Structure formats: C-alpha cells, structure tokens
Structure 1
Amino acid sequence: MTIERYLIYMAFQKGIRHKLVKSLLNEWLRDANLVELKRRKLRNLSGVFEGVSVFRYLTEHKW
C-alpha cells in the first residue's frame, strides 16, 4: 500500500467525505513533507522521515 492510498484509507476510516479527501490529499502530503514519497510503499519507509505521524495529523484536525 502506498502512502497516498494509506492516507485515503485512513481518511475514510475517520469518516471524512470522499470529495473532501480528494481535494485535500495534496495539501496533507505537503504539510507532512511526503509529496515526493507519495508513491512509495509503506514498508519501504523505515527511517526515511522522523516526527511525521500521518495518523496523528488526520486525528488532530476538526472535520
């Protein structure tokens, strides 16, 4: 699963609407400094970045 697909999956799990997810996906990737890594598989990210928790980012925002 890629970072991009994981973000979409987690957003749906949190109850964020599809239209909102599509419009905000690139903004989330930019905020988490993951734009250039969005197509990489999650299993290949060990040690690539520090201090970024996409799950925390999604849960802290008010939807």
Structure 2
Amino acid sequence: MAEETEKIESGDVVQLKSGGPKMTAESHGNSGWHCKWFDGTDLKHGTFFAKSLIKIV
C-alpha cells in the first residue's frame, strides 16, 4: 500500500483506511471523493472524505 500522504487523483485505486473493497476514485466534490467499485457483478458507488482513503499502488 502507498503512504497516506500521497495525493489522490481521478482514476486512482483507493481503499478505506479501515479496509473494504478496492475502489476507483472518479471525481472530487465538496463532499469528498466520488468512488465506484464492484460487489460481485453489481456496480456500487459512494462518496468518502479524502482523509478516510488511502491510495493503492
């Protein structure tokens, strides 16, 4: 995993610091990063604060 200080950019693979699925950071808005991920064949999405995410390499 990458260091928490790395800047997240659109298209990066991220994960919640607490764990969970790998997600793709799509865009950043006032409420945080909009991310998408798959749960089996279902496409899910959510918005997360940047400080709750780590960049995966």
Q: Same fold (TM over 0.5)?
A: no
Higher fraction of strand: 2
Larger Rg: 1
Larger RCO of the pair (alpha carbons < 8 Å, separation 6+):
1
Please indicate the TM-score interval, normalised by the length of the shorter structure. Answer: under 0.3
Using the size of structure 2 for normalisation, the TM-score is 0.23
Q: TM-score, normalised by structure 1?
A: 0.22
